[in-house]
Chains A and B, each alone.
Chain A
């Protein structure tokens, strides 16, 4: 038996841990370009099952109703305010519909921005980005328990619980 050298045939190197952040919309767009869609004949597309799960999740978030133009508009509008890149991204992904939600996303919001500016930001978000799917109007929440009553019986109004977010911050 001659001496056999075993070559390392499997080797993985991380070249860049973070080669760029992706917005939810970009990931959704990428999956759509690959062939993902809502229609039930999914076997035909070259999209793996696990990728489809990501698609199903993202389609229900605000990214599901965003378009390239609206995202571009948002970026130009938001440039006037002094937000970090991560905050711009988060606002885009979450699409806050009220000041309360902004306080959760932006750090030290009260110190960095006067109230009028926060309202301005909310307005700009509302003007440039479309409403999340399954929501016709921006949510206005008054009583949480009223909402939860409907959820017990109606799964479709699941999205209404997102209004709950506004409650925990108030």
Chain B
């Protein structure tokens, strides 16, 4: 689920951070830039794991801030197809179920991926998906706030 990715990034450090020790300032700026953002091919950035090296610090002509070249490791959330993850049901409708991990809320189980046979029932004010398994009509009801382990069959979209 989680991987480390090594990144090298060249960026300008905003002057208001310069009062702090350099490591802290750079950590703070990296967190502002990467935390909770999705990077193409890498996944969702969870945390800055560590800073390997800091170079530079010179100010280019015309610029108002020093430019640093930093090599660091990021903890990325990158599930693979077929992985089994426990998630909470956020919402459901006729098209499927939407699950959330708290930090990542875009997990969908479309209708064709629901275990067979499943039915969507909406009556009164309750909505639920019912999976009829077994010979008797045993029902496994999926309702809001149930935790269900789910397996991912589809590659999540790589989006930046």
Contacts and interface: CB of A to CB of B under 8 A. Distances in A.
**Interface residues on chain A, size class:** 35 or more
Contacts of B88: 158
B63 interface: yes
B115 interface: yes
A19 B3 contact: yes
Contacts of A145: 138-141
A70 to B, nearest CB: 19
Contacts, number: 142
Interface stretch (A9-17, A76-84, A114-122): A9-17
Most buried by B among A7, A19, A145, A161: A161
Interface secondary structure of A, over-half rule = helix
A15 B7 contact: yes
A48 B103 CA distance: 12
Nearest to B82: A107
Interface of A: 4, 7-24, 26-27, 30-31, 34, 48, 50-51, 53-54, 56-57, 61, 86, 90, 93-94, 104-105, 143-145, 148, 151-152, 155, 158-159, 161-162, 164-165, 167-168
